[in-house]
Amino acid sequence: MKANQLKAGSILSYLQMGIGMVLQLVYTPVMIRLLGQSEYGLYNTVASTISVLSLLSLGFNSGYIRYYAIYKKENNREKISKLNGLFLIIFSIIGLVALACGLFLTFKLELVFSDGLTAGEYKIARVLTLLLTVNLSLSFPMSVFSNIISAHEKFVFLKLVGMIKTVFGPLITLPLLFAGFRSIAMVTVTVSLNLVADICYLYFVLFRLKEKFVFHSFEKGIFKELFTYTVFIAMNMIIDQINWNIDKLLLGRFKGTAEVAVYSVGYTLYNCYHLFSTSISNVFAPRIHKIVNATKDNLARQREELTELFTRVGRIQFIVLGLIASGIVFFGRFFIVNIWADENYGYSYYVALLLVIPSSIALIENLGIEIQRAQNLHRFRSFAYLAMAIINLVLSVILCQRYGAVGSAVGTAISLIVANGLIMNIYYHKKCNIDILHFFKNILRVSPGLLLPIAVGAVITKTGFVKSVFSFLVGVAAYTLVYCGSMWLIGMNSYEKQLILNPAKRLLKKSVKK
């Protein structure tokens, strides 16, 4: 049953990603044109500012899944109930702190943006900041319920709610934008949908899973142990904020909201790319914790199981992400300038490339992050990434003032290559009980499947075939067919082919019966 939840959860994750991307093809260009470059940049700048407050969670979300796995193995329902209560108390307090910080920022935005915004932009920014503050403060205590659902491996329900939220967001917002409402209406819709989703999670936990919450007699020393475990995850969150949000804040302060808009369009493409990798790896978090806890006394078996899972998921991610990354290289510029945005966003293409290509190694290795957490070995990653984040920050401050959005992206790209591509792979192999050489040997076996698609993509680009929306769609379709065919014949192994053939056979049998 749980295996089915994993498979269905992964499928629904990709379906949600696909639907989200299709909707963005329609939603984002309309939003850019109706809001204008300045307000679109303002919206992204404020969102990035408030997202910094997500650091207050201090990584406790990962802590819940870890301790739930331990108590579940012990079959100790009393400890699980106390764990539920402890986390609800912790996140409720964090929510109140976030509310206080957000309210302070709402009326002191000048501390963040200085002269980077006009008087009119400050007025809109304050309303957006207030709405996003309420949204974030509520999300902290309500995240406990989604964590519980994830720990129970009820991925189908979790992903279905997420999918509904993904679909209804643009469907509700677009009519409002056409009716003349602007960024404030967009954020109001987001806050409302998140609240509805949170209520669904709460209901599922209380009435379907029948989880209990005990708010007293907590296990002695658990908070100290929990904080010790999560402090380095919190450091990673700080680093992620520096790498992915500080660029927008620096651009808003030094170059204005128009440059933030240019960066945001490129970053949005990267974010879609990033989500495709995490959507499948996220559902394996409970499985990884189980493997680590069950094989503590047999490190050889642990190495074998972790390497097998790490390699199996990594190969699938490499195949999927290879199509998207190479597609952005060959078709990204035309898509951004002629379809998604306009000629004012030409540099967004280079921002996207600088974020997508250097991050690819880390994204196919996303399971490694959860493996470190399960082994309580995430300290090294925290320190390595902290050093690189500082370098990224220094480079971005210097480069963004001279080269704008592209300069900010260069600083991030350098940190990704050194930290993810080199340092972490050495650590995975030497300390995390993963045979990283075996992993890359398997990735190299997939790589020949890229040669024919790259050649076709280069021909399409060099000949100037893509000149209109129709030729763009034809080019993308032809490239996708070549890529899929090449991967099927050259890159994929029998297991990966069966992941496609088995569902297809079941669908065929059902259609024949009908």
Tens place of pLDDT per residue across the chain (514 aa):
455 555 666 666 667 777 777 777 777 788 888 888 888 888 888 888 888 787 777 677 777 777 887 888 788 888 888 888 988 998 899 899 999 999 998 988 887 777 667 788 888 999 999 999 999 999 989 988 988 888 887 878 888 888 888 888 888 988 888 888 889 999 999 999 999 999 999 999 999 988 898 888 777 777 777 777 677 777 777 777 777 778 888 888 888 888 888 998 998 888 878 876 666 666 677 788 888 888 888 888 989 999 999 999 899 889 989 999 999 999 999 999 998 888 889 999 999 999 999 999 889 998 888 888 788 787 787 788 788 888 888 888 899 988 999 999 998 898 888 888 888 899 999 889 899 999 999 999 999 999 999 999 999 999 989 999 999 999 999 999 999 999 999 999 998 898 888 877 887 777 666 5
- Tally Cβ neighbours within 10 Å of residue 244: 18
| Cα–Cα distance for residue pair 41/251, rounded to 1 Å | 10
CB 433 within 8 A of CB 306: yes
Q: How far apart are the first and last CA of the chain?
A: 26
| Cα–Cα distance for residue pair 207/481, rounded to 1 Å | 46
Domain ranges of the chain: 1-219
Q: What integer pLDDT is reported at residue 312 of this predicted model?
A: 92
| Cα–Cα distance for residue pair 262/118, rounded to 1 Å | 18
Q: What integer pLDDT is reported at residue 459 of this predicted model?
A: 94
Q: What integer pLDDT is reported at residue 485 of this predicted model?
A: 96
Q: What integer pLDDT is reported at residue 10 of this predicted model?
A: 62
Quick one: tokens of 339?
């379809």
Q: What integer pLDDT is reported at residue 218 of this predicted model?
A: 75
- Tally Cβ neighbours within 10 Å of residue 186: 23
φ/ψ of 278, rounded to 5, equals -75, -25
Q: What integer pLDDT is reported at residue 66 of this predicted model?
A: 77
At 258, which amino acid appears?
A
Residue 504's Cβ-count burial label (10 Å; 0-12, 13-18, 19+) is: exposed
